[in-house]
Chain A
Amino acid sequence: MTETATTPTTPFDELEQAYEALAQAIDRAGPHNEAVFLAKLALTLGQQLGSVAPFKEAIAMALQDLPARGGA
């Protein structure tokens, strides 16, 4: 468990709201569209970040610790 400095950070209660909004949005997208929805979301956030470096850092973080047997 290493601490990673991510810039700039969202306060915890807002992260919690993001978590809840994400869960509900995945349900709205539906099982057939969840992957394309999540890819669209990531790309939109990549555009809003203003530069590609933090986006690549986020990709590395998200690729880390993926389960060998596949997740949910």
Chain B
Amino acid sequence: MRPAGRGELDSLYFSYPTFAAKAVPELDGIASTHKVTIVGAGPIGMTAALTLARYGIASVLLDAKSTFNDGSRATCIARPSMQIFDRIGAVAPFVEKSLGWRHGRSYFRDHQIYRLEMPHSDDEKYLPMYNLQQQYMEQYLHDAVTAQPLIDMRWQSEVTGIATAERSAMLQVTSPLGSYALDSAYVLAADGARSPMRSMLGLRLKGENYEGRYVIADVQMDHDFPTERRAFFDPAGNPGGTVLIHKQPDNIWRVDYQLREGESEVDAVREDNIRARVGAILDDIGHTGPWALEWWSIYTANTLALDDYRHGPVIFIGDSAHIVPIFGVRGLNNGIADAHNIGWKLGYVVNRWADAALLDSYTPERRGATLDVFANAKKSTRFMTPPTRGWALAREAALSLAISHDFTRGLANPRQMQPYTYADSPLTRFPARDGEFTAGPVCGAAAPNVRLADGGHLLDQAGDGFTGILFSANTPSDEAADLLQDLAAADPKFTVHVILDLDGAIASTYGAGANTFYLLRPDLHVAGRWRSLVPDEVRRTLAAGLGDSAP
């Protein structure tokens, strides 16, 4: 919502473009079967389209709106999402505009009781977190989409019906220029938390709703404080409630505050109430200058997900598949990982480089990640918005002790998004090989980055396909050379890197010795690793990554 007198898209700092509906062949009765249609051109849908384009796969991208999402919505981009934007060639404007950060503070009343310091090392290419308003994210991804001839972007195109068969889906699309049927082998539903696609297919999210309600407001002000996450428990500016404050580009500050028990939602979102509550909070943090209200919304924490992210040819990505609480910033980031995960898999399947069975790994991997998010989010939500008297009193005790003692401070840890490890992935065939290592990323984990002598990074050298990393001081053995040849024959995008320096930073980060081999997936998670190369197991691991479901 916006202040009285300003339209829905009337922002203080962002000009919303208007995108016209496009004359498309289907309107002239020229029907063709598309390989992939993506419903919803938010950050998740566009990331999926750009990932597919990386593999040469054309897609139709539909959005019912004529412009980007209103308001700033998601604001925190975690490191793994920046890595993905990097992989799809869209990261530069994100780095340019966003505000990177790695620290936070939690306060109880007047006392600082927790200092958040997110893990970081000089080997990383990106910081743990970046703040950027969602409409900028959409603008930058849309610029990349526009520059990509493989993506057929269709604004003002609403899906009004769907009929699915085993191997294709027929979408009914309505635009101001007319209605048409769109035939597609696969459909990615990226149409958000209230997903019409989900409703049309009669699918329901399942899970829990939490009691606590928050107002999310963006204000514009000159306020001198570093880019950090600030959490206030029971502050004078919102007695009995919690407040979160984040800095965003363009002098925009995100203020989240918890509503009091019994406070009506209708009253809470009235502009005069928003102004009074936000004013008290700004006063409390020492802001004395002018401020302007940009946008606000109301929010309740939920942990909801589909049982299966796939329904025949329709695959759900992002909020259409799962809704997670905002604490810990996993909504957008979890969705970006969904888009990238299905993107490379579908790219491989549509290109016939992999068997369609590869798609069966999407739900277990990404729903597994969501359940992990739920476990963390449940704890952070109970701390941010204690659901009962017992939780409120226990939190009060923990926070009061935290003023002078360290031992309860960890309970105030916001459990920010960390990369997820695909521990039980069907693509990991030999997890027991982890036992041979004393260091390095386990099977299913995201591969760690290493800064190279030339200032570049190890993961920049990975291609779009599976990547082999062979540690060998000498010319690879005949056995290794044969294996690499086989891998390249099986995966046309396969690349290999031979690390000659067995005493260097890469070998140490990967816990590697002579003849150690890592096989990375296209999303740079570890498919398998061998302290000493076992060619047959590597072949079988790549086969699994290409959809071979034989054990």
Contacts and interface: CB of A to CB of B under 8 A. Distances in A.
Interface of A: 1-4, 6, 9, 12, 15-16, 19-20, 22-28, 31, 34, 61-62, 64-67, 71-72
B201 interface: no
Interface size class of B (residues with CB under 8 A): 20 to 34
Contact of A15 (B112, B391, B408): B408
B403 A65 contact: yes
Contact of A24 (B390, B392, B396): B390
A19 B411 contact: yes
A26 B394 contact: yes
Contacts of A64: 403-404
A6 B113 CA distance: 18
A72 B404 contact: no
Contacts of B389: 26-27, 31, 34, 72
Contacts of B390: 22-28, 34
B403 A23 contact: no
The B contact surface, by secondary structure, is: helix
A22 B394 contact: yes
Contact of B400 (A1, A12, A24, A65): A65
Given A4-B405, A26-B390, A26-B394, A16 B411 contact: yes
B394 A66 contact: no
B267 interface: no
Given A65-B401, A65-B404, 7 more contacts: A3-B405, A15-B407, A16-B379, A16-B411, A27-B389, A61-B404, A71-B396
A4 B404 CA distance: 8
Q: Closest 4 A-B residue pairs measured CB to CB?
A: A27-B390, A26-B390, A23-B394, A72-B396
Nearest to B410: A12
Nearest to B391: A23
B393 interface: yes
Contacts of A67: 109, 400
Nearest to A27: B390
A9 B408 CA distance: 12
Contact of A72 (B382, B392, B405, B411): B392
Interface in B371-407: 379, 382, 386, 388-398, 400-401, 403-407
A66 B403 CA distance: 10
B340 to A, nearest CB: 31
14 contacts: A1-B403, A3-B405, A4-B404, A6-B407, A15-B407, A19-B408, A26-B389, A27-B390, A34-B389, A61-B401, A65-B403, A66-B400, A72-B392, A72-B396
Contacts, number: 76
A27 B394 CA distance: 10
Contacts of A72: 389, 392-393, 395-396
A61 B111 CA distance: 16
B372 to A, nearest CB: 16
A33 to B, nearest CB: 12
A2 B403 CA distance: 9
Contacts of B388: 23, 27
B400 A71 contact: yes
B112 A1 contact: yes
A62 B389 CA distance: 19
Contact of A61 (B113, B392, B405): B405
A38 to B, nearest CB: 8
A23 B393 contact: yes
Contacts of A1: 111-113, 403-404, 406
A24 B111 CA distance: 27
B423 to A, nearest CB: 18
A19 B283 CA distance: 33
B401 A62 contact: yes
A3 B397 CA distance: 17
Contacts of B408: 15, 19
Given A19-B394, A19-B411, A26-B390, A2 B400 contact: no
B381 to A, nearest CB: 13
A1 B400 CA distance: 12
B155 to A, nearest CB: 48
A25 to B, nearest CB: 7
A58 B404 CA distance: 13
Contacts of B379: 16
Contacts of B391: 23, 27
Contact of B393 (A12, A34, A62): A34
Contacts of B392: 72
A3 B112 CA distance: 14
Contact of A26 (B112, B393, B401): B393
A3 B400 contact: no
B382 to A, nearest CB: 8
A4 B393 contact: no
Most buried by A among B388, B395, B397, B403: B397
Contacts of A34: 389-390, 393
A14 B394 CA distance: 15
